[in-house]
Amino acid sequence: MEILLEKDLICTQEWEKDDLDRLLELAFQMKQDRFGKKYLNILHRKQFFMFFYNPSVRTRQSFEAAATELGAHSQFLEPKSMRLKTSKSAGETVEDAAKVMERYAAGLGIRILEDKIGAYGEGDELLREYARWSRIPVISMAHDKFHPCQGLADLMGWIEWLASSGKLKTGRLAAKFDPGALKGKKLLLTWASGALCRSLCSAHEAALIASRYGMDVTIAHPEGYNLDPKVIGEVKMNCKSEGGNFEVVHDPDSGYEGAHVVYSRNWMSTEAYRDGELKKAEEVEKAFAIKGWTCNAERMAKTDNGIFTHPMPIDRGSEVTDEVASGPNSCIYDVAENRLHAQKAIMAATMGGFLD
């Protein structure tokens, strides 16, 4: 994977499909041989900086574990502990910070979204500014537009379940990268109410990567909760290229029919940012005023033995019922685990030029 050395990962759509294939194949191999000797020192004594504007559970834990298992060391960084220039204060510019960080570390991850920005797109701009000035790979650990690590983990989980040919009751998931398992399968990406006022990034990435691998994509949401039109344009392009179908519906029921993967998740409205800030309280109140969009067993019964997926944390009772989230067709914990393996592959390839 030498050609991926020092390559940024801000959105999976920006990578060649062959490179995504090789990355996912490596992630599957790393999962099957998690502590194998061949992987233990790929990044021996290298540093990975984790720059968190927003808190996390899975992201920090999975990246720290991934770095350790590859022989690297991860450093947790917060803006409040650094003298960085903002619109309201003096400090180091992105150029200066990036050029210093590249002298210390072999990779830089950044997480910035939701209430840490004042307008949609600012997080994406910040990541690209760091990538512009830095020679080390910049990896999105979730920002306002995209969440590539989550998209890769999602895809791994869906392949594992859909390629297992009904053997789920044995508890053994498919062990090999089999992208053909997704071809022609239907993803329902549906909005749901919730108290977290979530960014669009995971929803965008799910639609992009699913369509890239030949899945039919149905997006369901109430009026006013449109995803980014540019991203939707790319999803449509992917579907056309791969022979998949694409549709948008505005009711909470019709999209479930025949679905193989159901992704029920809250995301903020198109009016979430105003006057340079996220109107979180208003967004939560507005979301809860829209009734009837919770994923439940009755709706899942309309699917083609569909699996339930979610990046977590789950707002149980609002986005999905406990019966579904903790049910036999829920892949949420497999997807959560896959963050570790996908990120190990990303770091091995972009920070170490590792070729298995």
Q: Please report, to the nearest 10 degrees, the dihedral formed by the alpha carbons of residues 341, 67, 136, 206 taken in order.
A: 30
Residue 10: how many CB atoms within 10 A of its CB?
A: 20
Q: Are 196 and 264 in contact (CB under 8 A)?
A: no
pLDDT at 229 over 80: yes
Q: Is the pLDDT of residue 1 over 80?
A: no
Task: Kindly state the DSSP code that residue 43 receives in the 8-state scheme.
Answer: T
Cα separation, 143 vs 43, in Å, equals: 25
Instruction: Using DSSP, state whether 261 is helix, strand or coil.
Output: strand
Q: Return the pLDDT at 88.
A: 67
CA gyration radius, the chain: 20
Domains along the chain?
2-146+339-352 (3.40.50.1370), 148-336 (3.40.50.1370)
DSSP assignment, residue 12? G
Q: Mean of the pLDDT values across residues 331-337?
A: 96
pTM recorded for the entire structure: 0.96
Q: What is the pLDDT of residue 26?
A: 96
Residue located via tokens 């990268």: 177
Q: Alpha-carbon distance 151 to 210, whole Å? A: 9
Residue 245 has which token pair?
A: 């179908």
Predicted pLDDT at 2? 57
The continuous run of DSSP H or E covering 18 comes out as helix 17-32
C-alpha span between 296 and 302 (Å, rounded):
11
Cα–Cα distance between 53 and 51 in angstroms, integer? 7
At residue 319, what is the residue type? E
* 125-165: pLDDT as tens digits: 999 999 999 999 999 999 999 999 999 999 999 999 999 75
Alpha helices (H) in 163-225, listed in sequence order = 201-212
